Amino acid sequence: MKKNNHNSGFTLIELILYIGILSVIMGAVATLLFTFMQLRAKNQVIGEVEGQGTAAIEYISQGIRNSQAITSPTIGTSGSSLILDVVDAGNDPTTFSLSGTTLQVQFGAGSAIDLNSSVVEVSGLTFYNYSRDNTPGLILVEFTLTHVNPEGTQEYEYQKTFTTAASLR
């Protein structure tokens, strides 16, 4: 009778080879997941800046279109705040300005309302009055939004300058 000494199992070389192949595959998957997480974070940052910038620019444009007159800046000048004469006496004057890195609107004697959240900072807010005598007022608005990035990581680094023009109706 012959004895069969064939053991079913892996040899040490096969085991090392399989572990090596598995390590390479796991490393590739981990790198891919890390890249996807960075892209996701970057897209969220861009969306936040774009969304808040668009909302602020639309809000300011609507305020300009619905006002009766531009008090400041005067014709042919620019300024860091915009003061509008509005129909509603309780909201007169309506002022858009920058407080630190926060864009604010103030209606009449009321308290200022923030137009951006703490995750973005506003800088370079400028209002250009391009109006001419005997025409409706025309204001060019420009500001830059920067995402707050306390850790200094690249995926949270994003800024965009927003510009629009609006005229009184």
The pLDDT assigned to 135 comes to 81
Give CA–CA dist 13/34, Å, rounded. Answer: 31
Residue 9 clears pLDDT 80, i.e. is over it: no
The pLDDT assigned to 65 comes to 92
Residue 6 clears pLDDT 70, i.e. is over it: no
Can you tell me whether residue 1 is helix, strand or coil? coil
Residue 6 lies in a domain: no
Write out pLDDT tens, residues 86-122: 888 888 899 999 999 999 999 998 999 999 999 999 9
The pLDDT assigned to 159 comes to 93
**Dihedral angle, C-alpha 41, 44, 50, 54, nearest 10 °:** -160
Residue 7 lies in a domain: no
Q: What is the percentage of the chain residues whose pLDDT exceeds 70? A: 96
Residue 48 lies in a domain: yes
Instruction: Name the nearest CA neighbour of 95 among 29, 77, 103.
Output: 103
**Hey, what are 45's tokens?**
């940052």
Across 23-47, average pLDDT = 93
Can you tell me whether residue 101 is helix, strand or coil? coil
The pLDDT assigned to 4 comes to 62
Per the structure, the complete domain to which residue 140 belongs is given by: 12-167
Average per-residue pLDDT for the chain = 90
Query: What pLDDT band is residue 26 in, cutting at 50, 70 and 90?
Result: very high
- Contact 81/98 with Cβ under 8 angstroms? yes
Query: What pLDDT band is residue 2 in, cutting at 50, 70 and 90?
Result: low
Residue 146 lies in a domain: yes
Write out pLDDT tens, residues 134-166: 888 899 999 999 999 888 888 888 999 999 999
Domain count, the chain: 1
Instruction: Name the nearest CA neighbour of 140 among 87, 88, 70, 66.
Output: 70
Residue 30 lies in a domain: yes
Give the H/E segment covering residue 165: strand 159-167
